[in-house]
Chain A
Amino acid sequence: MIAIEKEISQFHKQYAAVQQEMGRVIVGNVDVISSIMSCLLTRGHVLLEGIPGLGKTKIVQTLSDVLNLKFNRIQFTPDLMPGDLIGTNVVRETEDGNKYLDFQQGPIFCNLMLADEVNRATPKSQSALLEAMQEKSVSVGNITHKLEEPFFVMATQNPIELEGTYPLPEAQMDRFLFKLKIEYPNIDEMHAIMDRTTQVEEAEAKAVLEQGEVLQMRETVLSVPIAKPVQDYAIRLTLATHPNSPHSHALTNKYARFGASPRGTQAMVLGGKMQALLNDRVHVACEDIRNVVMPALRHRILLNFEGEAEHVDTDDILREIIKDVPESTE
């Protein structure tokens, strides 16, 4: 028992150190950083949506610096091929003149990967990435190459430029644990950004965690137990997003074509565990589940014709669901 208490205490120290270092470079976006850390520590991946220039890339770069992990950034373009992503076999020649195929690792072989503007690549390249995200391995020819843990993908997409893009299919969107929306900074945050980025010396973050410590933190998060009634709440929230089902919400019936899959419930439970630890609890509360409903489910609800035409935001539907689904069925 004491060991667990120590483990929790250690987790808090490490997390606080990461937050402090991140805060030296990144202005605001505390919730975004917390959610990204949740995804990283629960074996998930994150999809960031926001207009250019809001610091999406900076966040991932800083995170890799702080965690002392190997970081790669790939700019997705329409002519990006799967080989450019995962690598390819090249023919090499030994000293004695024999030829052999040698696998040249692509940029996906890293710990933290930023897939910038993921919706600009063709579905073929997107599929290669998303398969690697799910399986944590890539197959070239007959050989499967295991990716190093932790493997964390942060994809970004621009919501305003739709011309010449290939929106991610629903099945592939489902692979992302969270979808985060990056909002504009407020005036104070803008001042802070200007102060930090328009001088001779830019703030830099130093590494506070090693790869092993990240994996240890991951184990700690996943160890947090969740009680059946709380899990039941998460399930009922998910079922409320399913149109024309016994648990469906009125807004879902009106505007949704498909609801969230069990991956959505998994995302809520995992995110809830992280939230519980951050709040110094060893159990997941319904409040923790509520806190992660938006990022966990917003990209898993598909709007129907009415919803699309009326520009319904899935966040609005989820807000109503949170309001109407009771914590307990007692």
Chain B
Amino acid sequence: MQTEHDHDSSNSDQIVGFLGRLDRRLRRNESLHSVSRCLWGLVGLLVVLKLSGWWDSPATRGILLGAYGAIAAGVIAWQYTRERGLQRSAVVADSRADLKDALKSALSFLGLDQRTNWMEVHIGRSAETASTLSAAELAPTVVPKPLYYATGAGVALVSLFSWNPGWLQQLEEADFLTAAQQEQVEHIEELLDQAAALAPEEEKLEELSEALERLRRRDIELTESLQELSEAQQALAASQAEMDRLEMDLEELGEKLDAVPGLSELAEALKSQNTKEAAELLRELAERIADAQSSEELQALLESLQNSNLQNQELAEMMENLEQAAGDMTAQDMAKIAQALESIAQQMENMGDQMAAQQDMEQMSQELQELQASLGQQQTGEQQQMAQQQQPGGEAQSQAGMMSDQMQMAQMQGDPSSAVPVDAGPAGDTTGPGGPGGDEVLGEATTLDVQLDMEILTAEEKDEPIPEEIFERLSREEKSTLNYEDVRQPGSYAEESAMQRDSVPWQYRSLVKRYFLSIRNNSSESTPEP
């Protein structure tokens, strides 16, 4: 048999249970709203990241987005889990089910230590009502529309930034690269195409191409671009050294063959680095390898090769092959020698292509150096502008000046990656330790476009007192003749007494009020304020 205590407990459980369910649904809906707000915040953060350029730096982007995500998750979790009691859900249930504060009152009565019978009756009635209510109907899960909009906007932005990163950059590009820089880049790309056609296996050309593409799109910071270009230029310069050694080897071979009768043309071609003509002559030699004269020429060629010390690896291998083939000459196997000579002729032709490509690369290297200088100057300008925006007045200027000095110092030390102003002459034209351009002739001295003249401003000093002193002196001299209360009190009293008297008929009260208001205005104008 159910006791009265059990019945009370059951009523209480019924009410509290229902309110608990409703509370959870309300928290869920609130959390969805919070998620929506956080997503809008994320959209705003994405835009800020993009506009500030931090989007292009994966590390910065990751840190900022991660921090924002952690904060947003914390806020949402706190909102969902924080202790708020059931009063709010009781108010919501009363309002949505039109219960006339029944659950709110019941919850309040349940919290009392001593309850009257009337309260118990009300709790019983409320428990019955709560059993007929559905939390899902009173607080259905509603995904707020702004959540959809924010998600859509976020996905769209991320897609735009990720899939078509040139979208915004194309707009910025016009401002980023000047017309001259654009022309330089295009010219370098033309040379790059030519060089790539002649030497398709060159990896450094591919790297340079990628670096230029990134520079165009501004996928990375200008500093990083400059670094990449500098590395590409150094790689080109390194290949130039290799090509120099090849040219020296060819010249040495030419000089040695110059003394061999019948090979003077070949020697001349090698000395002039005309590899195509040398290849033709070698083919001719291979064709007439059978006759005795040619054999003598070949023998002389081999002797000269044995005495030579070739530095170019490729050329040295070719000549080694030829010596091996010549070793067979004693076995009268002329076909192999002819084949070796044909192979050398083929290699010579290839070398010709490489040398032509190397010429393009050399030109590219020069162009790159100029482009770096130009971009470096631009970077200095941007840094000065930022410093002026961030620092007030002269401090900014001095800092910008320091930056400019640092750039100049870097230039003097011959750092190729440093920014060098174009109109300040070629790199290394000052008295520093010298860099790539240290051997060049000094450029003309640079001068300021504007010569500043000192101007002295003259002003007259007068002995007259400043306005503040005049004001204070007059204030000390003059005193208020009447206290404020003495002026205002009679008026206020008259107003009060006149209006409080019930003998003033209603219809005349506004008239009386207007009268006193008119007096008040006149008195405030005529009465001197202390």
Q: Among residues 265 to 323 in chain B, which have CB atoms less than 8 Å away from a CB atom of chain A?
A: none
A residues in contact with B105, CB < 8 Å: 225-227, 229-230, 283-285
- Give A153-186 interface residues, CB cut-off 8 Å to B: 162, 165, 167
Q: Contact at A4–B121, with CB atoms within 8 Å?
A: yes
| A contact face: mostly helix, strand, loop, or mixed | loop
The smallest C-beta distance from A71 to any residue of chain B, in angstroms, reads 32
Q: How far is the CA of A129 from the CA of B505 in the complex (A)?
A: 28
A1, B122: Cα distance in complex, Å? 10
Closest Cβ of chain A to B419, distance in Å, is 62
**CB <8 Å contact, A285 and B117:** no
Instruction: Give chain A nearest CB distance to B518 CB in angstroms.
Output: 13
**Could you tell me which residues of chain A, from 1 to 44, have a CB within 8 Å of some CB in chain B?**
1, 3-5
**Interchain CB contact (< 8 A) of B108 among A165, A229, A310:** A229
Nearest A residue (CB) for B117: A4
Residue contact B120 to A1, C-beta cutoff 8 Å: yes
**How many angstroms between the C-alpha atoms of A283 and B88 in the bound complex?**
19
Residue contact A283 to B502, C-beta cutoff 8 Å = no
Contact of A227 among B104, B495, B499, B506 (CB under 8 A): B104
Residues of B within 8 A of A286 (CB): 101
Expressed in whole angstroms, the minimum distance between the Cβ of A326 and any Cβ of chain B is 10
- Beta-carbon contact of A230 and B104 below 8 Å: yes
A227, B513: Cβ atoms under 8 Å?
Answer: no
Contact residues, A266-298 vs B (CB, 8 A) = 279, 281-287
Please, how many residues of chain B have a CB less than 8 angstroms from a CB on the other chain?
A: 31
B100 in contact (CB, < 8 A): yes
Chain A residues positioned under 8 Å from B510 (CB to CB): 309-311
B118–A162 contact, CB under 8 A?
A: no
Could you tell me the distance in whole angstroms from the C-beta of A188 to the nearest C-beta in chain B? 31
Least CB distance from B21 to A in Å reads 18
Q: How far is the CA of A287 from the CA of B98 in the complex (A)?
A: 11
Residue of A nearest to B495 (CB): A305
Q: Does A199 contact B (CB under 8 A)?
A: no
Closest chain-A Cβ to B267's Cβ sits at a distance in Å of 104
Within 8 A of A (CB), among B64-114: 87-88, 91, 100-102, 104-109
Of the candidates B87, B91, B102, the one whose C-beta lies within 8 Å of that of A283 is: B102
Please, which residue of chain B has its CB at the minimum distance from the CB of A305? B499
Docked complex Cα distance between A309 and B125 (Å): 51
| A229 near B513: Cβ-Cβ < 8 Å | no
CA distance A225 to B91 in the complex (A): 18
Question: Is A330 part of the binding interface, using a Cβ–Cβ cutoff of 8 Å?
Answer: yes
Verify B100–A287 contact, CB threshold 8 A.
Answer: yes
Mask: chain A, 201-238; 1 = CB below 8 Å from B; 0 = not? 00000000000000000000001111111100000000
Q: Cβ of A279: which chain B residues have Cβ within 8 Å of it?
A: 100
Distance between B114 CB and nearest chain A CB, rounded to angstroms: 11
Tell whether A283 pairs with B122 under 8 Å between CB atoms, given A229-B101, A308-B509, A309-B510: yes
Residue of B nearest to A231 (CB): B108
B124 within 8 A of A: yes
Docked complex Cα distance between A286 and B108 (Å): 14
Nearest-Cβ distance from residue A264 to partner chain B, whole angstroms? 21
B102 contact set on A, CB distance < 8 A? 281, 283, 285
Closest beta carbon of chain B to A247's beta carbon, Å: 20
- B125 near A227 with CB under 8 A, answer no
Q: Is the CB of B495 within 8 A of A224?
A: no
In Å, the complex CA distance between A185 and B45 comes to 67
Binding site for B on A (CB under 8 A): 1, 3-5, 162, 165, 167, 223-230, 279, 281-287, 305, 308-311, 327-328, 330
What are 24 pairs between A and B in contact, CB < 8 Å? A1-B117, A1-B121, A1-B124, A4-B121, A5-B121, A162-B502, A165-B502, A167-B502, A227-B106, A227-B108, A229-B105, A230-B105, A281-B100, A281-B102, A282-B118, A282-B121, A282-B125, A283-B102, A285-B105, A286-B101, A309-B512, A328-B87, A330-B87, A330-B91
